[in-house]
Amino acid sequence: MLLAGTVVADHRTVIEDGAVVVEGDAIAAVGDGATLRDRYPDHERREFGIVAPGTVGAHVHSVQSLGRGIADDAALLDWLNDHVLPMEAGLGADGMRLAAELGYLECIESGVTTVVDHLSVHHADEALAAAVESGIRARAGKVLMDTNAPDGLRQDTEHALAESEVLIWRYHGAGGGRIRYAVTPRFAVTCTEECLRGCRDLADEYDGVRIHTHASENTDEVAVVEERTGARNVEFLHEVGLTGEDVILAHCVHTDEREREIIAETGTHVTHCPSSNMKLASGVAPVEDYLDRGVNVALGNDGAPCNNTLDPFTELKQASLLAKVDAGDPTAVDAPTAFRMTTRNGARAAGFERVGALREGWKADVIGVGTDATRATPLHDPIGHLVFSAHGDDVTFTMVDGEVLYDEARGGHRTLDAGSIRRRAREFDVPGVEA
């Protein structure tokens, strides 16, 4: 297949009237459109306003999708304990499967080709199976909570780790390598030291498995951890082994100098979730400081109950604008930097090689973006447009590993039954939500 248009190959490279040639699951060529049309005359041809690498949602909660709007205008710990955790606890296998399908449906049609997905304590296998079938690229895992959690979610430590190991056996490397596992303690507030150390041991036991957790999102969370352990959040996670190149920490809003040094020195990845942080009034993550220290910062939407959308373009714009206001500097987190955060940086955090840019020999994770809207007219800077003007609704084509998952012009979703998923989601009796 030959995908033609203005090609945004990465955060530095734009090819006007370019093309991307896909063969199998990989990119065979990227370059001038006319040249590649002559070189590959027999390939199916498609035309788009912009051809770009798929985006990476480096911290999402697909299984919270059924809770969109259930806890608006609430503080983090109230939001979590009074609304979101009871909802998760009440979801059975069918509900968890539907929630994951709904989340992946939104991601795929919005141009997200890779997710780092923080699932739930129970029925994570349903979400992992949905990821396999949807065609999305995913780093995902079941949640571990062995203290300070509702009865429906708290598990014995050894049992939680054993369940995680079974899921590693079943799903790590599934989908031809598209699915990879992340050991997923929810956060230090709901995990004992034994649990967190067990997560590190489990990740070390299996090649390519990563760790994904929350850290320092909210001042109340930081205070709880410090009162219990005598250390600040990231310091404590470092002590128990939850830092390093194989660790993804979501949020990291409230960190001090020593914690930022730890993150940088250990090569720990940070996922910035600006919309969620603003909606929950958690604060402003020191993204510019992290980047200046060489920290790999990716972007995530978090969950539908604290963002209300999984549209990656929302986070692109918010990340850049929030950094500018925070720094008092209009050059902070410029458009190319933000775009790199949602593409290559996200792929690095997720641990996927040859993902996050359009380059010869790399994985064919490609999106087509329409530019016919008035807000795309005129279009002087394609990268600036993607960061500041584009919406997920502008995505008309999504491909992962060379497989077309969504094609608006040719019937929409290819791997998921969009109509059925939306209908069932509307009719579903969400636990804890009055009809």
Q: What is the mean pLDDT of residues 192-196?
A: 98
Number of domains in the chain: 2
Note whether 396 and 271 are same-domain residues. Answer: no
Pick from 223, 251, 220: which is nearest to 236 by CA? 223
Cβ burial of 204 (10 Å; 0-12, 13-18, 19+) is middle
**Phi, psi angle pair for 389, to nearest 5°:** -120, -30
Domain end: 300, 317, 350, which one? 350
**β-sheet with 45-53: strand ranges across:** 26-32, 14-23, 2-8, 45-53, 366-369, 395-400, 403-407, 412-413
Note whether 311 and 235 are same-domain residues. Answer: yes
Q: Which residues pair with 215 in a beta bridge?
A: 251
Note whether 96 and 181 are same-domain residues. Answer: yes
Note whether 343 and 362 are same-domain residues. Answer: no
Q: Which two tokens stand for residue 400?
A: 């992962």
Residues 6+ apart with CB under 8 A from 245: 266, 267, 268, 269
CATH number at residue 67: 3.20.20.140
Residue 168: its pLDDT value, please?
98
DSSP 8-state assignment for residue 67: G
SS3 state of residue 331: coil
Note whether 8 and 37 are same-domain residues. Answer: yes
Average pLDDT over the chain, rounded to an integer: 96
Rg (CA), the chain: 21
Note whether 219 and 81 are same-domain residues. Answer: yes
Confidence at 434, pLDDT banded by 50, 70, 90: low
Note whether 136 and 47 are same-domain residues. Answer: no
Give the position of tokens 């795309």.
Answer: 376
pTM of the model: 0.97
Note whether 376 and 303 are same-domain residues. Answer: no
Note whether 184 and 274 are same-domain residues. Answer: yes
Q: Which two tokens stand for residue 184?
A: 């997923």
118 near 187, Cβ under 8 Å? no
Note whether 125 and 201 are same-domain residues. Answer: yes
Count of residues making up the chain: 435
Amino acid at 421: I
d(CA 147, CA 14): 50
Residue 343: its pLDDT value, please?
98
424 found inside a domain: no
421 found inside a domain: no
Note whether 263 and 363 are same-domain residues. Answer: no
Residue-wise pLDDT for 237-285, tens only, equals 999 999 999 999 999 999 999 999 999 999 999 999 999 999 999 999 9
* Structural domain span for residue 199: 55-350
**Phi, psi angle pair for 409, to nearest 5°:** -75, -15
Note whether 180 and 79 are same-domain residues. Answer: yes
Confidence at 433, pLDDT banded by 50, 70, 90: confident
Residue-wise pLDDT for 389-432, tens only, equals 999 999 999 999 999 999 999 999 999 999 999 999 999 998 87
H-helix or E-strand containing 253? none
What is the DSSP annotation of 293-328?
A: TT--EEE--EEHHHHS---HHHHHHHHHHHHHHHHT
Least trusted range by pLDDT, from 47-51, 77-81, 374-378, 379-383 = 77-81
Q: Which two tokens stand for residue 248?
A: 């993804």
434 found inside a domain: no
